[in-house]
Amino acid sequence: MQRQWGVEREDGNWTGIVGVLQHQQADFCMVLTLTRSRIHVVQFSTIYMQSNIVIVSLKPRLMPQHLAIIKPFPGSLWVVLIVSILLWAIALWLIQRARSWTLGGSSVHLGTALFYSWGTLMGNWTPHLPANATGRLMMGLLLVTCLIVTTVYRSSLVAHLVVQDKDAEINTFQDLLARDGWGWGTNRIGDVLTIYFQNNPNPDAKKVFERMQFAPVEVQFPRVLEGGYSCITYKSDVLRPVASKYTNRQGYTPIHVSRTQYPLFIGEGWGFRIGAPFRHRISQMMLRLKEGGIIDYWLDNLISSDSKVTTKKTEEETPTDAVNKISEVHICGRIVGR
């Protein structure tokens, strides 16, 4: 970052591209993110592009079919159901034992009470009911309860077998941190994305940055497709490779781009040395292109056509380069025309 975009030194001087503009060694540069510290040494044009941060992951997969047997009830309900059956068996055993000790007569063994409860829950209730009224009442309550539980379970099981569940989508930093054994990284090291995480007061963002891995985009996407890994990068870096390399002719892609987008500062524009006389005219033209929807249309058209056209020129061009190119053509044409 120090050699490319630049960082501020203790004496107030900048390195990189920002330093070149600060010391009047160039008139302007393209694709420079507007930050609070840069506006003191560089003048910016109209912001024409937002660089939001997104999380790229593999689309949720279908849950294994064998797990459908436990999916009708959540884990907490299964625990409550099992504990309730055990407590009912123990209560029946204690009540029958106390009745036998006070009034005489036969009692029920603990094993028999457990068989009563589990058999009734599984739909194989025993015809040998306790002889006394107390035991019969408890068995009646158990039968009604198990009938309700099994009816709800079977209807929910049919629904889960017809429509399989999927893993949850990853849309936020919290979703990343909640995944056990999940990894993530970025292809953007040493630029504004790094500053975003370093200065972000959100504790979740800081935790994400602590475990961030850095690798080129050619390495990031194959790891995403393997599963268990996400790529955190600019949305502009995602749209083109997803459309051109990871989308089939039917328009399906296994890549999931997070619905939540994290704004990266204000946006991107052209940077000018302070006092550049042509900045105002270029900013006016950019504003007209932005308000007319030409830049957004060009980007959308580039991304959609990039999935069909595979020429070498298209392979090497990025959405940001495309914006720069169309801006140069329209702006130069207007300046020359005048």
Domain boundaries, the chain: 66-162
- The residues that bridge with 28 in the sheet, in sequence order, are 272
- pLDDT surpasses 60 at 271: yes
Residue pLDDT, tens place only, 234-264: 887 888 788 888 888 888 899 999 999 998 7
- pLDDT surpasses 60 at 325: no
Whether the model clears a pTM of 0.75, i.e. scores above it, the answer is no
SS3 helix, strand, coil % of the chain, rounded to 5?
55, 10, 35
Residue pLDDT, tens place only, 52-103: 899 999 988 776 666 677 878 888 888 998 999 899 888 888 888 887 787 7
Helix 133-162 with 110-121: angle, nearest 10 deg: 40
Residue pLDDT, tens place only, 99-136: 778 777 667 788 888 888 888 888 776 666 677 777 77
- The residues that bridge with 56 in the sheet, in sequence order, are 231, 257
* Tokens 């030194």, residue located: 9
Pick the CATH number of 66-162 from 1.10.1740, 1.10.760, 1.10.287, 2.60.40: 1.10.287
Look at residue 330 in the predicted model and tell me its pLDDT.
44
